[in-house]
Amino acid sequence: SAVISQKPSRDICQRGTSLTIQCQVDSQVTMMFWYRQQPGQSLTLIATANQGSEATYESGFVIDKFPISRPNLTFSTLTVSNMSPEDSSIYLCSAPTGLSEAFFGQGTRLTVV
Amino acid sequence: SQKIEQNSEALNIQEGKTATLTCNYTNYSPAYLQWYRQDPGRGPVFLLLIRENEKEKRKERLKVTFDTTLKQSLFHITASQPADSATYLCASPYGNNRLAFGKGNQVVVIP
């Protein structure tokens, strides 16, 4: 199993600013993922955070808007840049353990005003 | 494109009854499906995985089925309790350990 600590748990930000979300895993994991969960919607994958190389982004998400760092096998950050109210959402990091299950952080509830 | 769908309507159920949720997938054949529980303000928590060659999987009061003909998985909570009230998500892999999630079903167990 894995325990994932994510912070901040929530934040209220001004439009045009950026927020960096941190995710720490208590064990080394090969892959980490970042999801967005908009109100009433399911989880949408933003990108795969790759250690030692650039993140791999899903269709509709770009590096300039959501830069990701993965400096080692236990840590990753997601930045939400130049925020607008449409970016208000819950952001979640995740790490899978083989095929059996994915572990998630508790999420960051972001409100952009 | 591949899709995974859950009827996103809330399910209100009397305590002690069985709650049944449905997950449908289209345009692909996943090797397995996963079910997660999500409480308000929390990340999803893994419950069960069922592979395409497994008809049924059980864990305590939970049961999952996988019907590759109907392209459907059913999730059952037997002898439901108020503590089972949560949103339940179906998830399917689509390469490189990525998961696609359904919208989820909110279950409310009424005492």
- Measured between CB atoms, which of A6, A31, A106 is closest to B97? A31
Residue A92, domain CATH: 2.60.40.10
Residues B29-34: what's their mean pLDDT? 91
Q: What's residue B95's pLDDT?
A: 80
Per the CB < 8 Å rule, is B32 touching A99? yes
Q: Is the CB of A2 inside 8 Å of chain B's CB atoms?
A: no
Distance from CA of B105 to the nearest CA of A (A): 10
- Measured between CB atoms, which of B41, B98, B104 is closest to A48? B98
pLDDT at B44 over 70: yes
Q: pLDDT tens across B80-91, in order?
A: 999 999 999 999
CA distance A112 to A7: 17
Interface test with B, best of A10, A21, A43 (most B CBs within 10 A): A43
Tokens 């864990």 label which residue? B59
Domain of A45 in residue numbering reads as 4-112
Residues on chain B touching A105 (C-beta within 8 angstroms): 43
pLDDT tens-digit profile, chain A (113 residues): 789 999 999 999 999 999 999 999 999 998 899 999 998 888 999 999 988 888 999 999 999 999 999 999 999 999 999 999 999 999 999 998 766 689 999 999 999 99
Residues on chain A touching B34 (C-beta within 8 angstroms): 101-102
Q: pLDDT tens across B63-73, in order?
A: 999 999 999 99
Q: What's residue A41's pLDDT?
A: 86
Residues B103-110: what's their mean pLDDT? 95
- Measured between CB atoms, which of A6, A102, A107 is closest to B99? A102
Q: pLDDT tens across A25-54, in order?
A: 999 998 899 999 998 888 999 999 988 888
3-class SS string, B57-101: EEECCEEEEEECCCCEEEEEECCCCHHHCEEEEEEEECCCCCEEE
Distance from CA of B48 to the nearest CA of A (A): 8
Those of residues 22-81 in B touching chain A at CB distance below 8 A are: 32, 34, 41-46, 49
CA distance A69 to A51: 8
Q: Give the phi and the psi of residue A88 in degrees, each rounded to 5.
A: -60, 120
| Structural domain count of chain A | 1
Domain of B11 in residue numbering reads as 3-110
| Structural domain count of chain B | 1
Residue B42, domain CATH: 2.60.40.10
